[in-house]
Amino acid sequence: MANRPAILSGLLSAPPRFLFFTGKGGVGKTSTAAATAVALADQGRRVLLVSTDPASNLDEVLETTLGSTPHGVLPGLDAMNIDPVASAAAYRERVVGPYRGLLPDSAVKSIEEQLSGACTVEIAAFDEFTSLLAEPRATEQYDHVLFDTAPTGHTLRLLALPGAWSDFIDTNTLGTSCIGPLAGLGNQQDRYRRAVATLADSAQTVLVLVARPDPIAIDEAARAAQELGALGIAHQRLVLNGMFVATGEGDPLADAMAARSHVLVRDLPPALAAIERDEVALVDFSLNGIDGLRAFVGGVRQRAPLPSEATIPEALGFDELIDELAHRGNGLVLTMGKGGVGKTTLAVAVALELARRGHEVELTTTDPADHLGAVLADAGQSVAERLHVGRIDPEVVTRSYTAEVLAKAGADLEDDALAVLKEDLRSPCTEEIAVFGAFARIVAHASDHFVVADTAPTGHTVLLLDSAQTYHREVARQGGEESPEVMQLLARLTDPAYTSVLVVTLPEATPVHEAASLQEDLERAGIHPKAWIVNQSLLAAKVTDPILRARAMRETEILQEVARRAGGRVAVVPMVCEAPQTIEEFHLLVGTTMALR
């Protein structure tokens, strides 16, 4: 039996059967879920921990290799990953199998074609998720089932799917969809309804919103609380990770971080202030491994030993890297990496600096980036005139895509055929196709000026790139026209003279290893990153607070690993308490890295 938990006591005092952990990328969802699972197992409970994240790092946190079936981690605790690719293969065979030998080969092949898209991967993972949630026999040997989910947007989609697909199946009378014959889904419809009921049952399910003392993470948690509440998931708790109290004197960054923690908790949005919460202090050690997770739950803040010395390997200056990009005169710049590592902030910094160097720049972010209006006004007229800010709005592009398909493919259809097309366009998959097409059009703009874009979190990005292979089939099936931008997308992304990928990470083991996995995926697709950027380095910030200094000392080994993986092409950006909000702060963020050489 482990020590009595010193943190997460509110969550651990009366946990229901199902616990979902979600929040913005990088806030510690997996560590919090794993620490909770270990604590429950140490209390004698039987626990299953499941990752639904396509880019799961549960293996690394538990320091064991997991598969798609429960694997014993320690007495009382099993864990598994929902593998989207394996789930899709099993789902595909379950749907196609019954038709083999009954239908002509051409008809079976047609079904297989329908099941070859990225949407099938998502629905297959969802199908497995609902099985664990709504089939008593699947988890009857466990007291608690904990779901470690992907960053918030994906989770919202996952939790909304039982209702969305039930509605789609209920009202689809024609039997076809982008994921194959609806007969296969209809067999699961009762399960989907039970999954919805379980999610909405406060006695059975709690949603754990995880955040850090960061305005963006807090806002995203508040939005998730509201949207999931609207789906009927009303039993919610908040875990605030990384709460910081300065333990030394004379460290401006430590003082600023402590002040920010205090203010953000004091001024929590109403959607979060109204729910119960656990506050967890920042620790100086890695949470990977059972011992680290137990120390975390036990309230330990510092662990020995620390490295004997701390050094930063030879690094590029961030502005030196931007000079290299500017020298080309045009092209696509993508900041890619795990959610929460600062992709959007660094994309904005790159765009501003390219504009300051006299280039026309189109900046596309996944965030609304409303604050950029003030930044551009501060930057002066010449920069503001050269930098154009946009965003792919999924609702807008989906409406446009639907209207375009109906106008072109639906104009001459008979009523029955038009009804089939409209039902198909109503499916959740249409948004994926529409957003992908919008992304391809923006990429095409980089042929005559700079386009700078942050991208979706790692797992989704990989699925997006994989979609290049299946997009054509989906568009053709829905009767749309394949655009030249989509046809040329993969060639443009793999052309180093056209596309520069900057892999962004934090100086921590898990984000670095996820970034390494992303680099491997990209290289398999023929895309070779131009450089890595290690963001928010405490070592580069030269902190003196004891907790922060200990964390900084532990960065040395990580930075050396990054330098090896990046072939020496790495820039290290110091930690700042607040994301830059003015042109001077962005310029300082870029220029400070020069001091590292």
List the catalytic residues. 26, 28-31, 53, 510
Q: Where are the beta strands (DSSP E) in 366-474?
A: 387-391, 450-454
Quick one: which H or E segment has residue 557?
A: helix 555-565
Residue carrying the six token digits 């199946």: 169
Identify the residue whose tokens are 């875990």. Answer: 239
What is the C-alpha separation between 537 and 562, in angstroms, rounded?
13
- CB of 544 within 8 A of CB of 297? no
For 404, phi and psi rounded to 5 degrees?
Answer: -65, -45
- The CA–CA distances, whole Å, from 504 to 99, 120, 401, 462, 543 equal 46, 29, 32, 15, 22
Sheet holding 331-336, edge to edge: 387-391, 361-365, 450-454, 331-336, 499-505, 531-537, 570-574
Query: Would the CA dihedral through 113, 117, 122, 125 be positive or negative?
Result: positive
d(CA 495, CA 401): 28
Please give the Cα distance from 291 to 38 (Å, whole number): 10
Report the distance separating Cα 382 and Cα 372, nearest Å: 15
CB atoms within 10 A of CB 71: 17
Order of strands, sheet of 144-148, starting from the edge strand that comes earlier in the sequence? 71-74, 77-81, 47-51, 144-148, 18-22, 205-211, 236-243, 276-281
Give residues with Cβ within 8 angstroms of 303, minimum separation 6.
283, 284, 285, 292, 295
Using alpha carbons only, what angle is made at residue 39 by residues 33 and 40, rounded to the nearest 5 degrees? 90
Question: What φ, ψ does residue 390 adopt, rounded to 5°?
Answer: -140, 175
Choose among 384, 365, 366: nearest CA to 375.
384
d(CA 116, CA 108): 13
How far is the C-alpha of 72 from the C-alpha of 193, rounded, in Å? 31
For tokens 């656990």, the residue is: 278
Instruction: Report whether 154 contacts 460 (CB < 8 A).
Output: yes
User: CA angle, 500 as apex, 494 and 506 as ends, to 5°?
Assistant: 115
Q: Residue 336's closest CA among 486, 182, 150, 503?
A: 503
Q: Which residues contact 141 (CB under 8 A, 6 or more apart)?
A: 46
Spatial neighbors of 162 by CB under 8 A, at least 6 apart, are 126, 130, 192, 193, 195, 196, 199
